Homo-oligomer: A and B are copies of this chain.
Amino acid sequence: MNQKRRGRRAAGEDTRAALIAAAREVFVEKGYDGATVRAIAAKAGVDAAMVNHWFGGKEGLFAQAVLQLPFDPSEILKRLLDGPVEQAGERIIRTFVTVWDATGGGTFAALIRSVTSQPEVANALKSFFVNAIFKNLLTEIGAEQRELRATLCATQMVGLGIVRYVVHFEPLASTDVETVVKAIAPNMQRYLTGDLN
**A contacts, CB < 8 Å to B:** 30-31, 33-34, 112-113, 115-117, 122, 125-126, 130, 147-148, 151-152, 154-160, 162-164, 166-173, 175, 182-184, 186-187, 190-191, 194, 196-197
Chain B residues with CB under 8 Å of A156's CB are 155-156, 159, 187
CB distance from A96 to the nearest CB of B (A): 12
Tell me the nearest residue of chain B to A150, going by C-beta. B169
CA distance A113 to B112 in the complex (A): 9
The reply to whether A151 and B171 contact each other, CB–CB distance below 8 Å, is yes
The reply to whether B33 and A169 contact each other, CB–CB distance below 8 Å, is no
Known: A34-B117, A151-B169. 4 other contacts (CB 8 A): A33-B116, A151-B171, A158-B158, A158-B159
The reply to whether A116 and B162 contact each other, CB–CB distance below 8 Å, is no
CB distance from A94 to the nearest CB of B (A): 16
CA distance A196 to B181 in the complex (A): 10
Tell me the nearest residue of chain B to A184, going by C-beta. B152
The reply to whether B116 and A169 contact each other, CB–CB distance below 8 Å, is no
The reply to whether B171 and A148 contact each other, CB–CB distance below 8 Å, is yes
Chain B residues with CB under 8 Å of A154's CB are 159, 163, 169, 172
A197/B184 contact (C-beta < 8 A), A33-B34, A152-B172, A155-B160 known? no
CA distance A125 to B187 in the complex (A): 23
The reply to whether A147 and B171 contact each other, CB–CB distance below 8 Å, is yes
CB distance from A25 to the nearest CB of B (A): 15
CA distance A169 to B194 in the complex (A): 21
Most-contacted residue by chain B among A33, A171, A175, A187 (CB, 10 A): A187
The reply to whether A155 and B172 contact each other, CB–CB distance below 8 Å, is yes
Contact partner, A167, options B30, B122, B175, Cβ 8 Å: B122
CB distance from A120 to the nearest CB of B (A): 12
Closest 3 CB pairs of A and B: A159-B159, A155-B159, A151-B172
